[in-house]
A and B are shown apart, each in its own frame.
Chain A
Amino acid sequence: MPKAVGQVRPGTGSASSRRSRRRSPRQRGVASAAALLVAAGTLAACGSDSGGASTLTWYINPDSGGQAEIASRCTEAADGAYTIQTAQLPRESSQQREQLIRRLAAEDNSIDLISLDPPYIPEFAEANFLAPVPDDVAERVTEGVVQSAIDGSTWNDELVAVPFWANTQLLWYKQSVAEAAGLDMEQPVTWEQLVEAAEAQDTQIAAQGIRAEALTVWLNALVESAGGSIIEETADDPEDIELGLESDAAVRAAEVMRSVSTVGGPAFSTAGEDANVTDFEEGDAAFMLNWPFVWGRALSAVEAGTLEASVPEDYGWTQYPRVNEDEESRPPYGGINLVVGAYSQNVDAAYEAAECIVSEENQAYYFVTNGNPASKASVYDDPEVLEVFPQAPVIRESLENAAPRPQTVYYSEVSGALQREYHPASSLDPGSTGEQASELISAVLRGEQLL
């Protein structure tokens, strides 16, 4: 099953991450032998241009095997110039960050390529953990790429990551229920209309009310859709960061969250993306905000015989709902971008590999097989992609409008504080929650409060 990034469930898969981190003695032997070979090759190559073949380690987020396949394709295409081996990170993006940042702080030179969740890119960039992107590479990898993916790879007006795949949330709905509720899904819908329809049809809206990264994703999309921003002015000094949580837009966002929680089902405060899909598939919820992986998941469930074929046939999809009727929505932006570790000994080869990984062909392959949407716009016209993902044009449009989460070095703190104040959504007080969250974030950034 393809996984959406930004998806955070408490502690999934820590065992597998531990397993992947531990290497067997043989592997270690191979690694050190490879290191010796590389060293020997480098020494022997003194004075000549032909360096030894380098082995690149690509730290990947768990997926359905797509990145491993792309790694072997690129290894083959490199024709001996480099070999890419993959190493799997924990399942949740926050834990991926924790592991990577500690290793990079210890100047780990075995980290060549990383699949990194965009909100953490500023933190890594500011800490000088990323090798600078060469100008010519930057030019090539941004050509024909959707704007939100370029924004998500940029820090301080400089491209610091290579856009790989770009994710966004759509509004998924059951066509039969939307019809019964009299909703015209051809037109943009608002959250208010959805809540009314859910109440009238006695159904639920599946959204991410869990205290996790997914809650920040939702809140940010709502604030941005209402015309505001969680961080209005970012700054190097945490004390100078200007927050927009007391703005009218943030108040509107909190109002929407609270009203959705009334039709969010009994487990709204613990529902993440996976629980949402289950509710949607089982018919408890007729509306759902979620990443495109839900389509691939439904299709494979039908194939496996665990889901009636009629269920996905009833699926409808459209743009993320609006907060204000006359203002276009700003859907969440997620995905994965590639960065090169600053302590890598093969920076040039790593960027060469990164360019291969994000090629149009590989992005199309990744989209079709793993359900992870491409960052290159042209992939969305690929007939093969369109055949498997009829929602590709909607995803592409959504990506053009998508708003990244607040870009700041202190993202982890900001997100953690937001989760603490905006959870559970049912107990929000739109008038005061924003103020409390602002105070908490400021105090945490000044180092005056625990989180």
Chain B
Amino acid sequence: MTQTTMPPVDKTSPVSAPHGKISDRARSERRLGWLLAGPAFVVMLAVTAYPILQAVYESLFSYRLTDPDNRSFTGLTNYWVILTDSLWWQSIWVTVLITVVTVAVELVLGFALAMVMAKALSSIRPVVRAAILIPYAVITVVSAFAWQFAFDINTGFVNSWFAWLPGVSADTDWFGDWGTSLLVICLAEIWKTTPFISLLLLAGLAQVPEVLQEAAQVDGATWWQRLWRVTIPNMKAAIMVALLFRSLDAFRVFDSIFIMTAGANGTESVSFLAYRQTIARLEIGLGSAVSVLLFIVVVMIAMAFIKGFKVDLSSARGE
């Protein structure tokens, strides 16, 4: 048995439309389009493009906020300093690790939760949905504090509740080592953002045509076969969009690290590095260069998803 998806439907083009020339109507529609989208476009330029361009510009200078008189143009030196620094590569590695681990776990968990939400009895469905979504409504800093307090050696309950697990005792200092710190950071991130993924997947689940499920059932397919051959192939677009959004988000991880370890034990992420150069050291040039590099990496991830996995963002909306 192969994968079963609905046959593609050819998009019909109007027969009467003349080719090559734009009609008056099309032109006025285009103008209306610009008028409608224009304000949003301007706002996007002001709040997104302008800061990005400013960061690119600043990154070419040696510039300390408290010493504006000694600002000097240094070309690409800042980028050279960053790319030859082992701290940069270490934080890239930590960030990639957090991204891969959290997104992978969230995908599986989120899918399971989406199935629960989709299949729950209609009487309890609203309650189930609300319960699953609560973590997503919690502010990240607050969730980071909650997890920190839970695992703290003095105030936490984890050490006494889970003392039966091998490796956990009353003396386990979760934030004292690289591995255990990252474990707690990942747990907090997973707890917080799994609902986001499951929401996107729920939308995808709703798109799987019931007829295909029924047909497969009639053919004698088991639940497992239907999941892998019918459900998942039909919601590939939704899965890819969920993965893309979460990966971009996860790569910018900051709050949990800032609260829990403040970068100790080699847990700095790339965003944390940008924070420390720009805000703590006040080296605007160097910090901007870190931010620009972070931006480039995020763009590369998005490109890789869109080109590599052929994610069509519009298909997630069922067009």
B176 touches A102 (CB 8 A): no
**B residues less than 8 Å from A50 (CB atoms):** none
State the Cβ distance, A36 to closest chain B Cβ, in Å.
30
A11 touches B262 (CB 8 A): yes
Name B176-219 residues within 8 Å CB distance of A: 176
Given contacts A15-B141, A105-B65, A270-B173, contact A447 B282 (CB under 8 A): no
**A residues less than 8 Å from B263 (CB atoms):** 211
Closest B residue by C-beta to A209: B176
**B residues less than 8 Å from A10 (CB atoms):** 148, 258-262
Closest A residue by C-beta to B259: A11
State the Cβ distance, B258 to closest chain A Cβ, in Å.
5
A105 touches B66 (CB 8 A): yes
Selected contact of B153 from candidates A105, A266, A444, A447, CB within 8 Å: A266
B85 touches A450 (CB 8 A): yes
Given contacts A450-B82, A451-B276, contact A101 B66 (CB under 8 A): yes
State the Cβ distance, A161 to closest chain B Cβ, in Å.
17
Q: For the complex, what is the distance from the CA of A54 to the CA of B261, rounded to whole Å? A: 43
**A residues less than 8 Å from B82 (CB atoms):** 450
B262 touches A270 (CB 8 A): no
Name B133-188 residues within 8 Å CB distance of A: 141-142, 144-145, 148, 153-154, 171-173, 175-176
Residue in A15, A105, A270, A448 whose Cβ sees the most chain B Cβ within 10 Å: A270
B262 touches A212 (CB 8 A): yes
Classify chain B's interface size. 35 or more
B280 touches A94 (CB 8 A): yes
- Please classify the interface of chain B as helix (H, G, I), strand (E, B), loop, or mixed, using the class held by over half of its residues: helix
Q: Is B106 an interface residue (CB 8 A)?
A: no
A413 touches B281 (CB 8 A): yes
B264 touches A423 (CB 8 A): yes
State the Cβ distance, B75 to closest chain A Cβ, in Å.
13
Given contacts A102-B65, A212-B262, A266-B171, contact A451 B281 (CB under 8 A): yes
Q: For the complex, what is the distance from the CA of A94 to the CA of B279, rounded to whole Å? A: 10
**B residues less than 8 Å from A412 (CB atoms):** 280-282
Q: Which residues of A contact B (CB under 8 A)?
A: 10-11, 14-15, 94, 98, 101-102, 105, 123, 126-127, 129, 210-212, 266-270, 275, 278-279, 409, 412-413, 416, 423-424, 444, 447-451
Given pairs A270-B264, A275-B154, 4 additional interface contacts (CB within 8 A) = A102-B279, A266-B172, A412-B280, A450-B273
Residue pairs across A and B with Cβ atoms less than 8 A apart, 17 shown, are A98-B280, A101-B65, A102-B65, A102-B279, A127-B66, A129-B66, A266-B172, A267-B173, A269-B176, A270-B173, A270-B176, A270-B264, A409-B66, A416-B276, A450-B81, A450-B286, A451-B276
